[in-house]
Structure 1
Amino acid sequence: MSITVGAPTFEHHRQALGTGVAAPRISWKTQAPPGWSQAAYEVQVDRGGTVDSPPSVHSADSVLQPWPAAPLGSREQATVRVRVTGADGTRSEWSEPGTVEAGLLEPSDWQAMAVGAGWEEDPASDERRPPLLRREFAVRSDVASARLYVTAHGLYEVEINGRRVGDDAMSPGWTTYNHRLRYYTYDVTGHLASGANVIGSWLGDGWYRGRLGWYGGFQNLYGTDLSLLAQLEVRYSDGSVEVITTDDSWRAAPSPIVRSGNYDGELYDARLELDGWSRPGFDDADWHRVVAAHRDPATLVAPEGPPVRCTQELTPVAVLTTPSGRKVLDFGQNLVGRLRIRVSGEAGNSVLISTAEVLQDGEIYTRPLRSAKSTDEYIMAGRPGEEWEPRFTFHGFRYSEVSGWPGDLEAAVARGDVVARVYHTDLERTGWFESSNPSVNRLHENVLWSMRGNFLDIPTDCPQRDERVGWTGDIQVFAPTASYLYDVSGMLSSWLKDVAAEQLPDGTVPWYVPVIPAHKMWTPIRPGAAWGDVATFTPWTLYERFGDPGILEAQYDSAKRWVELVERLAGPDRLWNEGFQLGDWLDPSAPPHDPADARTDRYLVATAYFARSADRMARMAGVLGRPDDEERFARLAADVRRAFAAAYVLPDGRMTSDAQTAYSLAIGFELVPEADMAAAGRRLAELVEEAGHRIATGFVGTPLVSDALTVTGHADSAYSLLLEEQAPSWLYAVVQGGTTIWERWDSMLPDGTVNPGKMTSFNHYALGAVADWLHRVVAGLAPGAPGYRHIVFRPQPGGGLTHASAEHETPYGRAAIAWRIDGGTLRVDLTVPTGATATVQLPGGGEVEIHSGKHHFESAAAAVDRVPVPVREASAM
């Protein structure tokens, strides 16, 4: 087998066009014979014909290695190749090239002004027609390349000569606009023609000025304007550059979008279309002059992760007729996106599309949407075969009620005239899991779909009702699962910068980011455990899973300010036992009107998180080489652990809150004295048994309970929790036909009615954090060192499962495990990527260290029941 190096990548990008980093770090993956290891590497950087070939670097590392040449300038492109040498002296060929191109790195690079409609609007109106913007310009015939740099207040879609630019949606996304406004870079070389050209843009309200918030919410939170900031740079073959920017020469006219908004949907009147408006030759004499204004370019930032895109299309699995005679499309899957329709009818007639996640009494049930109308309307122009999809909205739904459809809707569905288009941040899929239990597999699939639906530019809590905000506690508990399923490194590292930007001067981390006004419960912003701890937990999770100390560096000050705030709040006794807390939010025993009224003392939760965050802070300082902080926070963590044990652990090892979450926290965060750990584990297992193997944990306890049982020798109890089908349990929703993770364990009651609580979402990923346990324990694939440089294979079969498997695309390549119980033998197949090593721990056996390559192990199946037997490697390839 030869040694092959894949094309290098840069930072956390799959495609590094318009990166905001002048010296982007380089990663590559190598395929080599089993046991081969890298000893050195060479990087070749071609900058337009000038080739830098720095000396070979003696290193075994291949992830996020330093840029080896002079920093890139704005707009500069480089082609990079890598060659590696093994410890045995073997050398690879040069890799395929990887290309990186810098965006506009300096504020002075921006010449564009922000331009918007030149007519008066009622800022309080629900129907403010967003503008179309256009400008005609000419280019020569010798265009060598062209780049478009663009952002907006609101949302944009750009066209050049009638052709859409890019395939992203809901751009530029939702950031803390006053601190960070994201821009995107597009290669538009192929869009231009010799002579006359036109650049035009649609605009929509989006998060910037659309309705946001609970129970009616607010409009115009960031401003009342819709405006475009665009800079088109055309480079000719002789090296000269022409720049076309948004300025006061642009023209504006009302678009056919009568209104658009994330919550309420889009109303589009095709009779108002202006045919050919983004092509040369269109007469815009009666269009309005735009209003142009300067925008501070210092807040413009390049993306760190991929944009939102349509990643899948689904056709209805059924056309239902409801008891009231309405037509409802069932797509068979709760998803996030919007419908695309193809329809023919009389001019002025409209098709109305209303969406919902569930049915009740045979009709779409919209009460869980609260004030979100979630309705799109298309008014027909009277042309045959009109095709339409909303541009600037998204919905969370499984069911779509369609009214006003001309003709036979069933026949239209059969022709493919109605499809649901799935939208989310286009992250790279990196993790897979499967087992012999179909219900567990469906549970995992539900977790995956909930993540897809709620990773739409920011990590949201739910995608359907009048909320959809970036709750810090939800992603804090779910980040380990998210980091396995998808490469979230760029997206979440960007969002964490918004967390730091929104953090209050005293260190308080908001409940959700970006911050929007809310009711008294969330305003004014107050510090709260588990939610605020996103500042320490999530950067550490990303470091563990992706091996990037740069994330720790970027978030260090934010994390430190949070821990120091809690230190002040706790005081000398190190107990955080005052103030507002959500505690174990949505404990199933909590009443619908008070989800924070959990079995576990909320201050026990707060102090436990204080201890863990102090520990995380010490570890971050250690990685970054800050010994004074490392020592200080390690000492603080030890102090809090002692205070926690003294306050909340009784002499017999029980907790003052005799509840599953209390024990899960104490065990999972290593807060129980070693002498009491076994007793705590036994009591946790007893509580699970007493609850009939039903869940008794909320947001805080659920990600921890399975691991707490497992590490204390009660994996059988963890499996009993996993496989229980009566509410509250993970599989209850599966049995009820759920296709995503629910906000409440019983969002749908056994009689088919919806939980009466005001917060009842059917797409909420937080309780799906158990999938991380499925990956690490059931399948047995876990990181043993940052970035999976070392892997731990430790499957723990149980629950009657006869096989399970997991694959994960690590920063070094594909790692995989597949085990099965075959007769009396446990057979395990493993794959370790080049550049990584692994430890194998099979039930009942010792540890075996292995190198890269494929391996097969066998042991007696009796070992699954913890009977000590030797583990042997049957073969290595």
Structure 2
Amino acid sequence: MSVTVEAPRIEHHREPLGIGERMPRLSWRVASAPSGWRQAAYRVELEQRGAATSFEVQSPDQVLVAWPGEPLQSRERVTVRIAVRGADDAWSEASAPTSLEAGLLEPGDWTARPVGATRNENPNTDDRRPSLVRRGFEAREGVVRARLYATAHGVYEAELNGERVGDDTLSPGWTVYGTRLRYYTYDVTALVRPGHNAIGAWLGDGWYRGRLGWRGGFRNVYGYDQSFLGQLELTYADGTREVIATDHSWRSAPSPILQSGIYDGEDYDAREEQPGWSAPAFDDSAWEGVQERHRDPATLVAPTAPPVRATEELRPVEVLTGPSGSRILDFGQNLVGRVRIRVSGPAGATVTLRTAEVMQDGEIYTRPLRAARAADSYTFAGRDAEEWEPRFTFHGFRYVEVGGWPGDLDADAAAGALVARVYHTDLERTGWFESSDPALNRLHENVVWGMRGNFVDIPTDCPQRDERIGWTGDIQVFGPTASTLFDVSGMLSGWLRDVAIEQLPDGTVPWYVPVIPAVDKWTPMRPGAAWGDVATLLPWTLYERFGDVAVLEAQFDSARRWVDLLERLAGPSRLWDTGFQLGDWLDPAAPPHDPADARTDRYLVATAYFAKSARTVARMADVLGLAEERTHYDALAGEVVAAFAEAYVNDDGTMTSDAQTAYALGLRFDLITDPGRRDAAAARLAQLVHEAGNRISTGFVGTPLVSDALSSGGQVETAYDLILERECPSWLYQVEQGATTVWERWDSLLPDGTVNPGQMTSFNHYALGAVADWMHRVIAGLAPDAPGYRRIRFAPRPGGGLTSASARQLTAYGEAAIAWRMADGRLHVEATVPIGAEAVLDLAGAREETLPPGTHTRDVAQTA
């Protein structure tokens, strides 16, 4: 068998067009090789600046290796191929090429300035109707390359010669705009024609100046203007370049969008359309001039992750009629996106679409949306056929109430005329799980759908109500599961840069990033355990799952400053036992009006996280070769662990907070170091689970840890009892209630079928779905055992009456997989190790062994 190499990957980009890295790292997978083959060297072949060069490196590394060529210049295009060889082999054939292209890397590359209408920039008026902006231009014969570099104050969609540019939406997304405003690069070569051309953009408020936050929210958080910044660059065959940039020569007009907001939806009047407005022949003499706005080019950055895109379409599974006579579409799945309609109607008639996640008393139930209107409307122009989808909003919904529909809206009509389009950051799927229990499989699918719906440019807490912000605690606990299910490396490393920017000088990490104004509880910002610890734990998770040392380098100062703050707050006692804390948020025993009133002492939680973060910073320092810092934070962690044990762990291994979360923290964070106490703590945790009828008793903090605390503490069957329980509160209770995503509260829907009366009752929240990572690692038995899955641990722990389970993980080296089944008292296992990695096989009843690349089968007797 010959050695074959896949086309290399550039950094974490799925599409390396307009990248921002001057020396991008390279990764590749070896698709096939003879048995026993191992890479000993690699060769990078570059076509750069008109010359072909190659660089040979003696190394087994194939993930995120250093760029060997010259640093990229703005707009530079390079073709990369990879060849490899073993210790005694000839070089393989070079891989298929990957072409990459740099974006605009220097502030001086930008001549464009943001432009937009001035009529709706008065903060004292309700006139917020979005604008169109456009300009005509001439192009000579011989255009060989055309690139549009674009962003906005607000959100935008660009058009060129009447055609939509790109397939992204809600761009440029949500960042700390004053410091980092993303721009996107589009290849528009095929759209430019010799002679007359036109370019334009739709604009919307988005996060930049739209309503953000709860209790009415805030507008104009980042600015009053709604502006487009675009730079179209035409490269001709003779090597000359022409730039058409946004400036005072552009024109503006009101768009057919009457209003648009992230929370409130969009209203569109097709009678206000100006057909052909982005085509060359359009007469814009009646349009207004534009106002140029200021933008520091130094803040313009290329994205590190894919944009938000439509990734799936769903048709209604049923058309319902409510007691009021309302017509309601059930899409069968709680999703995030928008509804597209295709229908004809009389001019001036309006169709309204109101969205909701749940129904109650036969009607859509919108109280959980709080102040989010979550509705769209379309007013017909009166054409024979009209198609429309909102542009600058998104909704979390399963049900859509349709009002004003022309004609009968039965199931047949709805199936062809209304489609739910699913939107989220277009991440690559990397993790799959399946078992012999259909309910467990549905739980896993709910976690996947919940993640998709809450990864809309930033990791949000909920996609439907007047919030949708980047809570740091939620992604801190869900990070391992997110990193298993999808390749979040580029998205979350980019978001962590905003965390560092928003971090206060004293080290305080905000509750959510980007920061928006809030009410007294959140502003001024105060340090909070589990939420602020995202600065330490999420970078470490990304390093463990993707092998990226650069994320540790980028975030080390932020992580260190957070732990230094905790050291000051705790003082000589090393106990963080003062100040505001959310603790084990949404413990099921907490009353609806006070979700922080948990069974576990909130200061026990805070001190536990202090120890965990200090230890993690020590590990980061060790990886980065910072010996002095490693020694300091390692010693600090030891002091905090000792203080924790003295304050919260009794001599018999029980804890002062005799609650599931307390034991989960003590065990999983290695805060109970004495072996006898650890065994006793694990036994007590199992006893608490059984005393609760195997129902869950943990909130946001304890839930990601409790299953691991049980299984690693010798209580595997209790861990299965916990996850397979179907009574409220439990994971499978939600499944039994028909959930298609994970809820914010264990009982967002009460056993009597009514919605929980609490103010925070989202039916799409990913935090409690963090158990999916345990399902992959323990039930199926596939986990990283070295950063980036360079070494894999196959260690399934069957139980709970399951007869089979499997997991697949697309790693940087290729697909790792395990499948097991129980039959006649024997465990049959098949495991696949990708080329470039190795694995440890750890089966109960068998000696641990190391597996080379390839597929391996084992058959082991299992004792009762």
Give the TM-score, by structure 2 length: 0.99
Kindly report which structure 2 residues correspond to 1:603-622, keeping only aligned pairs within 5 A, or say none.
Answer: 603-622=603-622
Counterpart residue number, 1:441: 441
Listed one character per residue, the Cα deviations across residues 768-814 of structure 1 (whole Å, up to 9, x for unaligned) are 00000000000000000000000000000000000000000001100
Distance in 2 of aligned mates of 1:722 and 1:671? 24
Counterpart-to-counterpart distance in 2, 1:294 and 1:317: 49
- The 5 Å alignment of 1:123-142 reads 123-142=123-142
Q: Deviations over 1:460-514 (max 9, x none)?
A: 0000000000000000000000000000000000000000000000000000000
| C-alpha distance after superposition, 1:207-235 (max 9, x if no partner) | 01111110210111111100011101100
Letter matched to residue 294 of structure 2: H
2:702 paired residue number: 701
1:641 is paired with a residue of what secondary structure?
helix
Which residue number in structure 2 is paired with residue 398 of structure 1?
398
Shift of 1:411: 5.5
Alpha-carbon distance in 2 for matches of 1:397, 1:551: 35
1:202 paired residue number? 202
Q: Whole-Å Cα distance in 2 between the matches of residues 794 and 415 of structure 1?
A: 46
Aligned position for 1:731: 732
Alignment of 1:624-663 (within 5 A): 624-663=624-663
**Greater displacement, 767-776 / 293-302:** 293-302
- Report 1:791-802 matches (<5 A): 791-802=792-803
Label 1:72 to 1:637 Cα distance change in 2 as closer, same or farther (>3 A). Answer: same
Stretches of structure 2 lacking an aligned partner (at least 5 in a row): none
Partner Cα distance (1:147, 1:822) in 2: 60
Deviations 1:337-359 (A, max 9, x none): 00000111110000000000000
**C-alpha displacement of 1:130:** 0.9
What's the CA shift for 1:744? 0.2
**Which blocks of at least 5 consecutive residues in structure 1 are unaligned?**
866-877
2:211–2:219 CA contact under 8 A, matched in 1? yes
Question: For 1:482 and 1:654, how far apart are their aligned partners in 2?
Answer: 33
Q: Distance in 2 between matches of 1:233 and 1:468?
A: 36
TM superposition shift of 1:90: 4.2
SS in structure 2 at match of 1:767: helix
Q: 2:480 touches 2:541 (CA, 8 Å); kept in 1?
A: yes
1:579 equivalent to 2:567? Answer: no
Contact 1:118 1:252 in 2 (8 A): no
Partners of 2:83 and 2:443 in 1: how far apart? 43
Moved over 3 A (4+): 124-127, 411-415
Matched ranges for 1:277-292 at <5 A: 277-292=277-292
Question: TM-score normalised to the size of structure 1?
Answer: 0.98
Point out the more displaced range, 80-89 or 427-436.
80-89
Deviation at 1:122, TM superposition (A): 4.2
Give the conservation status (yes or no) of the 8 Å contact 1:535–1:558.
yes
Amino acid at match of 2:523: T
SS at match of 1:678: helix
Q: Which amino acid in structure 2 is aligned with residue 455 of structure 1?
A: F
CA deviation map 1:388-438 (0-9, x unaligned): 000000000000000000012126645511000000000000000000000
User: What is the Cα deviation at residue 179 of structure 1?
Assistant: 1.1
Letter of the 1:221 counterpart: V
Whole-angstrom CA distance in 1 between matches of 2:861 and 2:204: 63
Q: Is the 8 A contact 2:231 2:246 kept in 1?
A: yes
SS in 1 for 2:410: helix
- Assess if the C-alpha contact under 8 Å between 1:412 and 1:418 holds in 2: no
- 1:336: which partner in 2? 336
CA distance in 2, matches of 1:95, 1:258: 51
* Deviation by residue 1:105-143 (Cα, 9 ceiling, x = unmatched): 011110101101043554344441111000000111201
Cα deviation digits, residues 52-98 of structure 1 (max 9, x gap)? 212x1010000000000110100001000010011232431000001
Residue correspondence of structure 1 range 52-91 to structure 2 within 5 A? 52-54=53-55, 56-91=56-91
Contact 1:76 1:102 in 2 (8 A): yes
AA of the residue aligned to 1:140? R
Kept in 2: contact 1:126–1:259 (CA 8 A): no
Q: What amino acid does structure 1 have at the position aligned with 2:793?
A: V
> Do the aligned partners of 1:81 and 1:96 also contact (CA within 8 Å) in 2?
yes
Report what 2:176 is aligned to: 176
What are the residue-to-residue correspondences of 1:777-792 with 2, within 5 Å?
777-792=778-793
C-alpha contact 1:157 1:203 (8 A) present in aligned 2: yes
* 1:461 aligned residue: 461
Secondary structure in 2 aligned to 1:796?
coil
Cα 1:7–1:181 change in 2 (3 A) is: same
* Cα distance in 2 between the residues matched to 1:226 and 1:38: 53
The amino acid that maps onto 2:748 is: S
User: For 1:445-524, what aligned pairs fall within 5 Å after superposition?
Assistant: 445-524=445-524
Offset, 1:293: 2.6
State whether residues 120 and 127 of structure 2, in contact with CA within 8 Å, keep that contact through their aligned partners in structure 1.
Answer: no
CA positional deviation for 1:573: 1.0
Matched residue of 2:271: which SS?
helix
CA contact (8 A) 2:319 2:411 kept: no
Structure 1: distance between partners of 2:428 and 2:120? 43
Query: Could you say which residue in structure 1 is the equivalent of 2:718?
Result: 717
Equivalents in 2 of 1:26, 1:621: separation in Å?
24
CA 1:237–1:193 in structure 2 vs 1: closer, same or farther (change >3 Å)?
Answer: same
Name the residue aligned to 1:154.
Answer: 154
Match of 1:623 in 2: 623
Separation in 1 of the partners of 2:550 and 2:331?
42
Mapped partners of 2:120, 2:155: distance in 1? 20
Counterpart in the other structure of 2:813: 812
Is 1:187 equivalent to 2:187 in the alignment?
yes
Deviations 1:287-315 (A, max 9, x none): 00111133101111100010000000000
Q: Aligned equivalents of 1:371 and 1:423: distance in 2?
A: 22
Match of 1:870 in 2: none
Residue type at the aligned position of 2:848: E
SS in 1 for 2:688: helix
TM-fit CA distance, 1:274: 0.2
Q: Verify the 8 A CA contact 1:502 1:515 in the aligned structure 2.
A: yes
Q: Secondary structure at the match of 2:275?
A: coil
1:673 deviates by 2.2
Name whichever of 82-91 and 152-161 sits farther off: 82-91
Q: Which residue type is aligned with residue 750 of structure 2? A: L
Matched-pair contact (CA < 8 Å) for 2:161–2:279: yes
Identity value in percent? 67
Change (3 A) 1:668 1:404: same
1:363 matched residue in structure 2: 363
- Residue 35 (structure 1) shift: 2.4
| Counterpart contact for 1:124–1:219, Cα < 8 Å | no
Are 1:118 and 1:288, in contact at CA under 8 Å, matched by a contact in 2? Answer: no
Q: Secondary structure at the match of 2:666?
A: helix
Aligned to 1:871: none
**One-letter code of the match for 1:431?**
G
Conservation of the 8 A alpha-carbon contact between 2:318 and 2:411: no
Q: Kindly provide the CA deviation profile for residues 141-182 of structure 1, in whole angstroms up to 9, marking residues without a partner as x.
A: 201101110100000000000000000010000001111100
Structure 2: distance between partners of 1:407 and 1:120:
37
Q: What is the SS of the residue equivalent to 1:231?
A: strand
Residues 762, 127 of structure 1: alpha-carbon distance in 2 compared, 3 angstrom cutoff = farther
Q: Find the aligned partners of 1:462 and 1:90 in 2 and give their Cα distance.
A: 54
Q: Which amino acid aligns with 2:464?
A: Q
**Aligned partners of 2:120, 2:799: CA distance in 1, in Å?**
67
How far apart in 2 are the matches of 1:14 and 1:649?
Answer: 48
> What do the CA deviations read for 1:174-213 (whole angstroms, capped 9, x no partner)?
0011111000000010110111000010000100111111
Q: How far apart are 1:49 and its partner, in Å?
A: 2.9
Q: How many residues align?
A: 862
Q: Secondary structure at the match of 1:409?
A: coil
What SS does the corresponding residue of 2:57 show, helix, strand or coil?
Answer: coil
Partner of 1:410: 410
Residue by residue over 1:12-58, the C-alpha shift from the partner in whole angstroms, topping out at 9 and shown as x without a partner, is: 0011101101100000000223321100000011025311212x101
The letter of the residue matching 1:663 is Y
Residue 2 of structure 1 deviates from its aligned partner by: 1.7
Alignment partner of 2:617: what SS? helix
Give secondary structure in 2 for the equivalent of 1:540.
Answer: helix
> Shift of the alpha carbon at 1:843?
1.4
**Residues of 1 paired with 2:29 and 2:436: CA distance?**
32
